[in-house]
Protein backbone atom coordinates (compact mmCIF):
# COMPACT_ATOMS: atom_id res chain seq x y z
CA UNK A 1 0.00 0.00 0.00
CA UNK A 2 1.53 3.32 -1.08
CA UNK A 3 1.14 6.31 1.25
CA UNK A 4 -0.33 9.25 -0.69
CA UNK A 5 1.71 12.42 -0.96
CA UNK A 6 0.11 15.80 -1.60
CA UNK A 7 2.40 18.72 -2.39
CA UNK A 8 1.71 22.43 -2.76
CA UNK A 9 3.63 24.12 -5.54
CA UNK A 10 3.37 27.84 -4.86
CA UNK A 11 5.41 28.86 -7.91
CA UNK A 12 6.23 32.60 -7.81
CA UNK A 13 3.90 33.35 -4.88
CA UNK A 14 4.34 34.00 -1.15
CA UNK A 15 7.37 35.70 0.35
CA UNK A 16 8.36 34.91 3.97
CA UNK A 17 5.51 36.80 5.63
CA UNK A 18 2.78 35.25 3.44
CA UNK A 19 4.46 31.90 4.02
CA UNK A 20 4.20 32.41 7.78
CA UNK A 21 0.52 33.38 7.51
CA UNK A 22 -0.24 30.28 5.42
CA UNK A 23 1.59 27.92 7.78
CA UNK A 24 -0.16 29.30 10.87
CA UNK A 25 -3.54 29.00 9.21
CA UNK A 26 -2.80 25.52 7.81
CA UNK A 27 -1.44 24.19 11.11
CA UNK A 28 -4.62 25.28 12.87
CA UNK A 29 -6.53 22.95 10.50
CA UNK A 30 -4.16 19.98 10.79
CA UNK A 31 -6.08 18.16 13.54
CA UNK A 32 -9.01 17.71 11.11
CA UNK A 33 -6.86 16.20 8.36
CA UNK A 34 -6.36 12.52 7.57
CA UNK A 35 -3.19 11.06 9.10
CA UNK A 36 -2.13 8.65 6.38
CA UNK A 37 -0.76 11.20 3.96
CA UNK A 38 2.54 12.98 3.43
CA UNK A 39 2.01 16.73 3.09
CA UNK A 40 4.63 18.93 1.44
CA UNK A 41 4.74 22.66 0.74
CA UNK A 42 7.06 24.16 -1.89
CA UNK A 43 7.54 27.91 -1.36
CA UNK A 44 9.94 30.08 -3.37
CA UNK A 45 13.63 29.96 -2.33
CA UNK A 46 13.54 33.09 -0.11
CA UNK A 47 10.68 31.65 1.95
CA UNK A 48 12.26 28.22 2.54
CA UNK A 49 14.15 29.16 5.77
CA UNK A 50 10.94 30.55 7.28
CA UNK A 51 9.04 27.40 6.27
CA UNK A 52 11.62 24.93 7.63
CA UNK A 53 11.92 26.91 10.87
CA UNK A 54 8.14 27.08 11.46
CA UNK A 55 7.59 23.44 10.44
CA UNK A 56 10.54 21.94 12.34
CA UNK A 57 8.19 20.08 14.73
CA UNK A 58 5.42 19.47 12.18
CA UNK A 59 4.67 16.49 9.96
CA UNK A 60 4.48 18.89 7.00
CA UNK A 61 7.67 18.67 4.93
CA UNK A 62 9.27 21.40 2.84
CA UNK A 63 10.28 21.27 -0.80
CA UNK A 64 12.20 23.62 -3.09
CA UNK A 65 10.77 24.24 -6.57
CA UNK A 66 14.08 23.85 -8.37
CA UNK A 67 17.85 23.74 -7.76
CA UNK A 68 21.10 23.77 -9.70
CA UNK A 69 22.83 20.64 -10.90
CA UNK A 70 26.10 22.39 -9.94
CA UNK A 71 27.66 22.38 -6.45
CA UNK A 72 29.23 25.87 -6.46
CA UNK A 73 31.07 28.33 -8.68
CA UNK A 74 30.28 30.93 -11.32
CA UNK A 75 26.55 30.20 -11.78
CA UNK A 76 24.85 33.50 -11.05
CA UNK A 77 21.39 33.19 -9.58
CA UNK A 78 21.60 29.49 -8.81
CA UNK A 79 21.03 27.54 -5.56
CA UNK A 80 22.73 24.21 -4.86
CA UNK A 81 21.45 20.97 -3.33
CA UNK A 82 23.87 21.41 -0.40
CA UNK A 83 22.42 24.85 0.34
CA UNK A 84 18.91 23.39 0.45
CA UNK A 85 20.09 20.63 2.77
CA UNK A 86 21.75 23.17 5.04
CA UNK A 87 18.37 24.84 5.65
CA UNK A 88 16.61 21.49 6.25
CA UNK A 89 14.65 21.24 3.02
CA UNK A 90 13.42 17.66 2.39
CA UNK A 91 12.18 17.55 -1.23
CA UNK A 92 12.86 19.35 -4.50
CA UNK A 93 10.52 19.64 -7.49
CA UNK A 94 12.51 18.93 -10.66
CA UNK A 95 11.51 19.02 -14.31
CA UNK A 96 8.30 21.00 -13.84
CA UNK A 97 6.85 21.80 -17.27
CA UNK A 98 7.35 25.53 -16.62
CA UNK A 99 11.08 24.85 -16.08
CA UNK A 100 11.14 22.78 -19.27
CA UNK A 101 9.21 25.21 -21.47
CA UNK A 102 10.20 28.65 -20.11
CA UNK A 103 13.77 27.94 -18.98
CA UNK A 104 14.72 25.32 -21.54
CA UNK A 105 15.49 22.49 -19.14
CA UNK A 106 16.20 19.30 -21.05
CA UNK A 107 15.85 15.69 -19.93
CA UNK A 108 19.66 15.61 -19.52
CA UNK A 109 19.71 18.65 -17.21
CA UNK A 110 16.81 17.25 -15.20
CA UNK A 111 18.63 13.93 -14.92
CA UNK A 112 21.76 15.70 -13.60
CA UNK A 113 19.62 17.53 -11.03
CA UNK A 114 17.89 14.32 -9.91
CA UNK A 115 21.26 12.62 -9.38
CA UNK A 116 22.58 15.65 -7.49
CA UNK A 117 19.51 15.75 -5.24
CA UNK A 118 19.98 12.08 -4.36
CA UNK A 119 23.68 12.70 -3.60
CA UNK A 120 22.62 14.84 -0.62
CA UNK A 121 19.48 12.85 0.20
CA UNK A 122 17.00 15.40 -1.01
CA UNK A 123 13.94 13.62 -2.39
CA UNK A 124 13.10 14.64 -5.96
CA UNK A 125 9.52 15.21 -7.09
CA UNK A 126 10.19 14.46 -10.73
CA UNK A 127 7.63 16.02 -13.10
CA UNK A 128 6.74 14.61 -16.49
CA UNK A 129 3.85 15.17 -18.87
CA UNK A 130 2.78 15.68 -22.46
CA UNK A 131 1.53 18.77 -24.26
CA UNK A 132 -1.92 18.78 -25.86
CA UNK A 133 -0.32 18.58 -29.31
CA UNK A 134 1.70 15.52 -28.31
CA UNK A 135 -1.44 13.83 -26.94
CA UNK A 136 -3.44 14.66 -30.08
CA UNK A 137 -0.61 13.35 -32.25
CA UNK A 138 -0.79 10.00 -30.44
CA UNK A 139 2.63 10.50 -28.83
CA UNK A 140 1.59 10.33 -25.18
CA UNK A 141 3.35 7.06 -24.37
CA UNK A 142 6.46 7.88 -26.38
CA UNK A 143 6.84 11.24 -24.60
CA UNK A 144 6.32 9.78 -21.13
CA UNK A 145 8.66 6.85 -21.77
CA UNK A 146 11.42 9.17 -23.00
CA UNK A 147 11.04 11.64 -20.14
CA UNK A 148 11.07 8.86 -17.53
CA UNK A 149 13.93 6.87 -19.07
CA UNK A 150 16.17 9.89 -19.71
CA UNK A 151 15.35 11.62 -16.44
CA UNK A 152 16.15 8.53 -14.38
CA UNK A 153 19.42 7.52 -16.08
CA UNK A 154 21.86 6.11 -13.48
CA UNK A 155 19.32 6.48 -10.68
CA UNK A 156 19.75 3.39 -8.48
CA UNK A 157 16.95 1.16 -7.27
CA UNK A 158 17.29 2.56 -3.75
CA UNK A 159 17.23 6.15 -5.06
CA UNK A 160 14.16 5.30 -7.15
CA UNK A 161 12.28 4.37 -4.00
CA UNK A 162 13.01 7.89 -2.70
CA UNK A 163 11.84 9.53 -5.93
CA UNK A 164 8.27 10.75 -6.35
CA UNK A 165 6.96 11.03 -9.90
CA UNK A 166 4.45 13.76 -10.72
CA UNK A 167 2.48 13.09 -13.89
CA UNK A 168 1.27 16.51 -15.02
CA UNK A 169 -0.31 16.81 -18.46
CA UNK A 170 0.87 20.25 -19.58
CA UNK A 171 -2.58 21.11 -20.96
CA UNK A 172 -4.09 20.69 -17.49
CA UNK A 173 -1.63 22.86 -15.54
CA UNK A 174 -3.13 26.17 -14.42
CA UNK A 175 -5.84 25.92 -17.09
CA UNK A 176 -8.79 24.73 -15.02
CA UNK A 177 -9.00 21.75 -17.41
CA UNK A 178 -8.39 18.51 -15.54
CA UNK A 179 -7.61 15.14 -17.07
CA UNK A 180 -10.57 12.85 -16.52
CA UNK A 181 -9.96 10.28 -13.77
CA UNK A 182 -9.73 7.59 -16.47
CA UNK A 183 -7.24 9.59 -18.60
CA UNK A 184 -5.12 10.21 -15.50
CA UNK A 185 -5.32 6.58 -14.35
CA UNK A 186 -4.32 5.32 -17.82
CA UNK A 187 -1.28 7.61 -17.92
CA UNK A 188 -0.27 6.64 -14.38
CA UNK A 189 -0.59 2.96 -15.18
CA UNK A 190 1.61 3.48 -18.22
CA UNK A 191 4.23 5.40 -16.17
CA UNK A 192 4.28 2.58 -13.62
CA UNK A 193 4.80 0.05 -16.42
CA UNK A 194 7.84 2.03 -17.58
CA UNK A 195 9.21 1.96 -14.02
CA UNK A 196 8.60 -1.79 -14.01
CA UNK A 197 10.61 -2.11 -17.24
CA UNK A 198 13.46 -0.14 -15.67
CA UNK A 199 13.45 -1.40 -12.07
CA UNK A 200 11.19 -4.43 -11.82
CA UNK A 201 7.78 -4.86 -10.31
CA UNK A 202 8.77 -4.85 -6.62
CA UNK A 203 10.16 -1.30 -7.03
CA UNK A 204 7.43 -0.01 -9.33
CA UNK A 205 4.72 -1.13 -6.92
CA UNK A 206 6.27 1.06 -4.24
CA UNK A 207 6.98 4.21 -6.27
CA UNK A 208 4.51 7.01 -5.67
CA UNK A 209 3.09 8.76 -8.72
CA UNK A 210 1.22 12.01 -8.09
CA UNK A 211 -1.24 13.58 -10.49
CA UNK A 212 -0.96 17.33 -11.16
CA UNK A 213 -3.10 19.63 -13.27
CA UNK A 214 -5.96 21.72 -11.89
CA UNK A 215 -6.58 19.48 -8.88
CA UNK A 216 -9.19 21.18 -6.67
CA UNK A 217 -11.09 20.26 -3.51
CA UNK A 218 -14.06 19.11 -5.58
CA UNK A 219 -12.19 16.76 -7.96
CA UNK A 220 -9.54 15.44 -5.54
CA UNK A 221 -11.58 12.49 -4.34
CA UNK A 222 -12.26 11.06 -7.79
CA UNK A 223 -8.71 11.58 -9.04
CA UNK A 224 -6.96 10.28 -5.93
CA UNK A 225 -9.38 7.37 -5.79
CA UNK A 226 -7.78 5.87 -8.92
CA UNK A 227 -5.66 2.76 -8.39
CA UNK A 228 -2.34 4.19 -9.64
CA UNK A 229 -2.74 7.78 -8.42
CA UNK A 230 -0.83 8.25 -5.17
CA UNK A 231 -1.46 11.89 -4.40
CA UNK A 232 -1.35 15.25 -6.08
CA UNK A 233 0.93 18.13 -6.99
CA UNK A 234 -1.23 21.20 -6.58
CA UNK A 235 -0.68 24.73 -7.85
CA UNK A 236 -3.58 27.18 -7.69
CA UNK A 237 -5.67 25.34 -5.09
CA UNK A 238 -2.73 25.21 -2.67
CA UNK A 239 -2.38 28.96 -2.24
CA UNK A 240 -5.12 29.24 0.39
CA UNK A 241 -4.72 27.15 3.54
CA UNK A 242 -8.46 26.43 3.71
CA UNK A 243 -8.63 25.16 0.13
CA UNK A 244 -5.45 23.08 0.44
CA UNK A 245 -6.72 21.52 3.67
CA UNK A 246 -10.11 20.76 2.10
CA UNK A 247 -8.42 19.18 -0.92
CA UNK A 248 -6.40 16.89 1.38
CA UNK A 249 -9.51 16.00 3.41
CA UNK A 250 -11.46 15.16 0.26
CA UNK A 251 -8.62 13.34 -1.47
CA UNK A 252 -7.44 10.99 1.27
CA UNK A 253 -9.39 8.44 3.25
CA UNK A 254 -7.58 7.12 6.36
C1 LIG B 1 1.48 22.72 -10.97
O2 LIG B 1 1.95 23.83 -11.05
O3 LIG B 1 2.25 21.77 -10.80
C4 LIG B 1 0.03 22.57 -11.07
C5 LIG B 1 -0.46 21.36 -11.15
O6 LIG B 1 -0.73 23.72 -11.09
P7 LIG B 1 -2.35 23.80 -11.04
O8 LIG B 1 -2.80 22.92 -9.90
O9 LIG B 1 -2.64 25.25 -10.80
O10 LIG B 1 -2.85 23.30 -12.34
For the stretch 175-184, pLDDT in tens is: 988 999 999 9
**Which residues span the domain enclosing 117?**
5-251
Choice among 69, 130, 168, 246 that is catalytic: 168
pLDDT digits (tens, 9 = 90+) for 142-161: 999 999 999 999 999 999 99
Q: 83-90 long-range contacts, Cβ below 8 Å, gap at least 24?
A: 84/48, 84/120, 84/122, 85/120, 85/121, 85/122, 87/48, 87/49, 87/52, 88/52, 88/56, 88/62, 89/48, 89/52, 89/62, 89/63, 89/64, 89/122, 90/40, 90/61, 90/62, 90/63, 90/122, 90/123
Domain of 48, CATH number, reads: 3.20.20.70
pTM score, whole prediction: 0.97
In the predicted structure, residue 130 carries a pLDDT above the cut 90:
yes
Mean pLDDT (whole number) for 179-200: 97
> What's the number of domains the chain is made of?
1
Nearest CA to 145 out of 169, 161, 129 is that of: 129
Return the residue whose CA atom lies nearest to atom 7 of ligand 1. 235
Q: Given a cut of 90, is residue 221 above it in pLDDT?
A: yes
| pLDDT for 1 | 83
Q: Is residue 121 among the annotated active site residues?
A: no
In angstroms, what is the span from residue 101 Cα to ligand 1's centroid?
A: 14
* Ligand 1 centroid to residue 214 C-alpha, Å: 6
Q: Does residue 1 or residue 207 have the better pLDDT?
A: 207
Q: What is the average pLDDT value for the chain, to the nearest integer?
A: 97
Question: pLDDT by residue (tens digit) across 65-82?
Answer: 999 999 999 999 999 999
pLDDT at position 14 over 90: yes
Amino acid sequence: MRKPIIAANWKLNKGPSDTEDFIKSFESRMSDLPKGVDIVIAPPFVSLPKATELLAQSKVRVSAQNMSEQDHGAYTGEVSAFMLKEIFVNYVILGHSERRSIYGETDAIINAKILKAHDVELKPIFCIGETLQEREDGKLEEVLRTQITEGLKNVSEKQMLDTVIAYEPVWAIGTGVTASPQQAQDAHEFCRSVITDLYGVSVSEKVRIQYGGSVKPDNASELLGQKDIDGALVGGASLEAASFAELIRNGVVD
